[in-house]
Structure 1
Amino acid sequence: MTTNQTRSRRSFLLVLLAFAAPVFVAWLILKQGWFTAGVTSHGQMVTPPLQRAEWRQQEWQNNWALIGICQRQCDDTQGYLQRIKTTLGQYQQRVVVLSVGEHAPAQLGQQLFWRSQLSNLPEQWAAAGTILIMDPLGHVMLTYPPLQGDAQLEQIAEQGKGVKADLYKMLKLSRIG
């Protein structure tokens, strides 16, 4: 073999390696489980979405609902969710903030509350501090577990950013409500 053929083969193998190596590395990463598929939602997706037809009959039926489950601290929950709603900008008119719980106030401003709906929720969502997002058709789409009692300000802010990001994305892509 001449040096010209050797050099030509070496160049061909280097070009082949340059294109094959990334494919092999990607395959290896996927096979070894080093890569987790990207999840774009911050909350827990409810599959299949839970239908809440009895909630849909209220006057806010054409709006998305940001629902806070509360036991004793309903005013705090209401204020927290109201601040999240305010950050939605142009989409905030499409969202209503609700509190559900045994000790929820009967009415506060234009917001609606229910005292008895807590018993209609699945057990894992009935904990105080749980946040639900419901579409205008009455389907609970996402849930956010309650923060622990000793939650730091950063954790609360992080959860709020996640709720806002998910709700904003759904409002932007939705053709209903």
Structure 2
Amino acid sequence: MHFVQRFAAIVLTLGLSASLVGCGFHLKGMNPTAAPLVYQKLNLVLPANTDELNRQLNTYLAASGVQLGQANDAYVLRVLEYTPRRQLLNGKLTEVLLRLTVTFQIEDRQGNPITQPRTLTASRSYQYDVETVNTDNQQESYLNRIVIDDIAQQISRQIAANRLPLVKTAQTAAP
């Protein structure tokens, strides 16, 4: 009887494992060589008042294997545009839409663009009733951090996956 239970447990475990592999499940690992070889060293250049984005980018890029610093052979990740927007919709309930648009590109040390500018957008919304509870500031502050975190993750994933289109030079543009 003991042998039958052990055999059934093994068969069940193997069956579940096979079904996970069959559906395409795989564990997401943090490979230190996940970033493309050319973007292994980056210097971040961000506009003023973007401290939270800077912190999040440092965290996610370092986790994907990018060395951040002022090295002579480092490329520059420049944020060209950082535009937070807050839209208020009034009705029976008040709805607030928070949207952040960030445009960035990678440049060499001399400021020449390597990749074409890429624009990313993240948004969140929430509703509240002014007559009952006023948690507007706390909720908005929390969701702003979530939106910034989302943008930082998108930037680091695109750099790690090398999904940024390169700038066409005069030599490659000619037929």
Whether TM exceeds 0.5 here: the answer is no
Q: Which has the higher contact order (CA 8 A, sep 6+)?
A: 1
User: TM-score normalised by the shorter chain: which range applies?
Assistant: 0.3 to 0.5
The alignment's TM-score, normalised by the length of structure 1, stands at 0.36
The alignment's TM-score, normalised by the length of structure 2, stands at 0.36
The structure carrying a bigger helix percent of its residues is 1
The structure carrying a bigger strand percent of its residues is 2
